[in-house]
Chains A and B, each alone.
Chain A
Amino acid sequence: MKYETDVVVLGGGGGGMAAAKAADKNGANVILIEREEENGGVLNQCIHNGFGIHYYRKDLTGPEFKETLQEELEHTNVKVLNSAFVLDVNKDKQLTFVNHKGIHEIKTKALVMATGARERHFNSLAVPGDRVAGIFTAGVAQKYINLQNLKPANSALIVGSGDIGLIMARRLHLEGIEVKGVVEILPYPGGLERNVQQCLRDYNIPLYLSHTVTRVEGNKRLGKVYVSQVDENRQIIPNTEKIFNVDSLVTSVGLIPLTDPIKFVETAPGFITSNTNQTSEDWIFAAGNCTVVFDLVDYVSREGEKAGKYAALYAQNQYFPEQKVKVIKGKNINVLHPMYIDPNERTKLYLRVSKTFKRAEVTVEPLGIKMVEEEARPSEMIEISMKPFKDKNLKEIEVSARELG
């Protein structure tokens, strides 16, 4: 079959659904393509709460957040194609996708990439030891337990204290799996403070900061995990080894933006975009975890909405950015998004600092923006709202952070 539309949104998670909704609202014909049978992406398996506090001003579970968005989507004219896998996107604004009916083409005017991220796999850490069953990413463990009613462990150690790792520690514990601890290589937890409290401290699950897994051992199935302390340069401190007898290792060691199948757009490693979510290819917009990894689905949906809006305007020849101001990563900034700003438009700037600060001052120069953040940590995104600054005639701005004495 051949389709023609104004905007295609690729990915039906929290970012994609919001993008489709917004593109529709802004007058575009929209097709949303999702590779799973159902929209929602990772929201479907996140049965814990904490979603939607900013976006809906309600504390929802993942499935509730998804249902709410899904309902909003059903009140639009967006055409949703599920179980559809995009094989190819070419520069002539044509997409090819496959589903159980065949192979199809879509001609579009604009595209929103909302393809999310994948989990970094334990294998890629190349930890020495036996190659055994029983090592899962947190997402896989979550899928087994929450969606398939399957228990993949009796006893577990969690590696990585990102939000997914923390939440899975609690989930496994509540399902009767003995969680012997959470191991984090950094000196501070990787996830939100509220999750450290609600998932670990509330259940007396130990958190081993500045620790790393040095070896995994087992006969066919995991049996032992060796853990050692590391110094500030992440070098293993001798004679600090602990051995955990567990049959499972659940890993939450980072997310990697997914940019497939597009190869011709600037990435680092996610899509580089402007504040209007435009990529280096002017008809392609991107939002959510396929750009940088966000702390909250709320941010992802908000970004998606923005991408959908500008994609719709672009498709209807109503958005032509005249100028792009480059955003430069200054001192102590680890993650910065977006990397370009259309100074005619408002900006939500997201950043992560590169180390822990007791009290950080974040500045945007030469715009003279100054923000003070108490206990700034790389694990928590800082958000700065910026007004349009067209009249300033700037080529670039620089964001940096410093400790306030």
Chain B
Amino acid sequence: MIAVIGSGIVGSLIAREINKYIEDVFIFEARNGIGTGVTKGNSGIIHGGYDDTPGSLRAELCYKGNKLYDEISQELSVEVKRVGSHVVALNEEELKAIDELEERAIQNGVQEYEILDKTELLEMEPNLNSDALKSFYCPIAGVTEPWEVAMQASRSLEINGGKVLKNKKLVEVKKKDNKFELLFEDGSSYIADLVINVAGLYADEVAKFFGDEVPYIFPVKGEYYLLGKNIKYANSVIFPTPSKLTKGCLVVPTVDGGFLAGPTAHGVKSKQDFSTTQEGLLEVREKSLRLVPTLDFSRNVVKAFAGLRPETREKDFHIDVGEGNVIHVSGIRSPGLTAAPAIARYVVEYLIQEKLHINLQKRENYLTHIEKVPHLVERDYDYWGRVIQEDPEAGEMICYCNKITKKEIKEAIKSGARTLDDVKFATRASFGECQGSFCTPKILKIISEETGLKPEEVLQNEEGSWIINSEVRMI
């Protein structure tokens, strides 16, 4: 058995890549949802690969990863929108950064870029700060929904004979002959022939269980605003000129039509600190307004949130074999999401086959393409009408904002959704502008009816996130 520790976008894509050769692949996820750690809280950008330090593993895998997203999008039926990106110079000083980016692009072998003058830029992005002088435009940059990629990759794994196990927090590893015995907090244990550690923020701690040392990971927080769909602020991803530390605070059109502003980049002590802060949110407002002055933070905000990046002093991915048949995929900071499909290939083709000398044969019965069942609202009315003939609940609307029916919510529950967030990420119900004000009580009831859980046992997400305390009174 091959064990992958972590169901983030990188872990699930690695698991899927291995699964193309070996059926017996398990993903062990410590939380109770797929891709709910680093994968959930980031900008969702597929970067162009032009600005990573030349010669770094990041630079090598980012550009490759970008290219692989066409395949990923097609095979996993996930949405990838190549909206392009602009790095915008607002003054003379920042013009230099544009030249530097061009130099880097050349060194990184990225040819898909153009330097646009003010007129061209403002024609493409009329809401930009009119001080804008030039932009470094990269048409192959895009956006996707990272957790959706992770969820679809996990589904693909399961369809092809692999397994995804949640609530499996690794607590100990015992070496047995050439194998590892993995012991989990819930008392279960599994024997693995090969382990891939893709534990995100915790990859350094997990490496220690195997007696290995990888670069120390410290969390860097990024805070964001999500803005509504009713105002179109930008057509493409808008970057400021980068600093040494970060790509800066951006304005990003999301896949489903909203906009993100952010992130900040501040080191925090705890790997569990996903809180937003007064200072951070103020910083996002100030910096993103400098790029797009029309951003409406007073009336158009859907929510604010924060994500954590697994940062290392080396500032590069650390992807290598450890002691025995274990591979540590750690320090996957930006552009980890972009690089993820390339990291998966790097792990399988280079580390497993070449470095560990494990000979792999492609499976003949492997199903490459998986469907994503489109939401009924995305289908034509004839099709939807026929579905309703078979199942009247396909005509019962539960989430009014995103138009998700009872049938779809029940299907998510049948595929394993147990919490409000599970349903939310699997179906988009309660993701809309009302943020669940109309549908949460209904969804809670459906989960309870379908699973036999009492309303008191239905959680928002993790253990402890209860919604209902008890009945109001005995009936």
Contact = CB atoms under 8 A, between A and B. Distances in A.
Interface stretch (A98-106, A184-192, A273-281, A307-315): A98-106
A139 B442 CA distance: 13
A137 B437 contact: yes
Contacts of B222: none
B255 interface: no
Contacts of B133: none
Contacts of A149: 471-473, 475
Interface in A100-141: 100-103, 118-119, 121, 123-126, 128-134, 137, 139-140
A85 interface: yes
Contact of A133 (B281, B384, B403, B460): B460
B384 to A, nearest CB: 6
B437 A128 contact: no
B471 A96 contact: no
Given A139-B437, A149-B473, 16 more contacts: A101-B388, A102-B389, A103-B381, A123-B303, A126-B304, A128-B280, A131-B274, A140-B437, A140-B440, A140-B441, A143-B441, A145-B472, A151-B468, A215-B278, A217-B275, A220-B463
Contacts of B434: 118-119, 121
Given A87-B403, A98-B395, A98-B397, A152 B388 contact: no
A117 to B, nearest CB: 10
28 contacts: A85-B400, A87-B377, A99-B395, A100-B388, A118-B437, A123-B302, A124-B435, A126-B304, A129-B276, A130-B275, A131-B275, A131-B305, A133-B459, A137-B437, A140-B436, A140-B437, A148-B441, A148-B445, A149-B471, A150-B472, A151-B469, A151-B470, A151-B471, A153-B469, A154-B469, A214-B278, A217-B275, A220-B463
Nearest to B377: A87
Contact of B441 (A100, A126, A144): A144
A123 B435 contact: yes
Contacts of A151: 468-472
Contact of A103 (B304, B384, B471): B384
B465 A221 contact: yes
A240 interface: no
Given A150-B455, A152-B469, A118 B441 contact: no
Contacts of B462: 220
B467 interface: yes
Contacts of B393: 100
B405 to A, nearest CB: 8
Interface string B389-431: 1001101110010010000000000000000000000000000
Given A101-B392, A150-B472, A126 B301 contact: yes
Contacts of A124: 301-303, 435
Interface in B443-475: 444-445, 455, 459-473, 475
B388 A126 contact: no
Nearest to B226: A123
Nearest to A220: B464
B102 to A, nearest CB: 37
A154 B472 CA distance: 11
A133 B445 CA distance: 17
B111 interface: no
Most buried by A among B274, B441, B463, B466: B441
B259 to A, nearest CB: 14
A170 interface: no
A233 interface: no
Most buried by A among B304, B377, B385, B444: B304
A103 B385 contact: yes
B277 interface: yes
A150 B389 CA distance: 34
Contacts of A99: 395-396
B350 interface: no
Contact of B472 (A98, A132, A175, A219): A175
Contacts of B278: 128, 214-215
Most buried by B among A99, A130, A140: A140
A235 to B, nearest CB: 12
A35 interface: yes
Contacts of B461: 133, 220
Interface in A76-107: 83, 85, 87, 96, 98-103
B385 A128 contact: no
Interface of B: 225, 274-278, 280-281, 297, 301-305, 377, 381, 384-385, 388-389, 392-393, 395-397, 400, 403, 433-438, 440-441, 444-445, 455, 459-473, 475
A319 to B, nearest CB: 32
A162 to B, nearest CB: 15
A96 B384 CA distance: 13
A173 to B, nearest CB: 13
Interface string A136-178: 0101100111011111111000000000000000000001000
A150 B277 contact: no
Contacts of B437: 118-119, 121, 137, 139-140
B472 A100 contact: no
Nearest to B223: A128
Given A133-B459, A150-B472, A152-B469, A102 B464 contact: no
Contacts of B403: 85, 87
B285 to A, nearest CB: 9
A260 B399 CA distance: 13
Contacts of A220: 460-465
Contacts of A148: 441, 445, 455
A307 B310 CA distance: 58
Interface string A202-231: 000000000000110101110000000000
Given A102-B388, A103-B385, A126 B276 contact: yes
Contacts of B397: 35, 85, 98
Nearest to B225: A126
Nearest to A222: B465
A133 B465 contact: yes
Interface string A12-35: 000000000000000000000001
Contacts of B277: 128
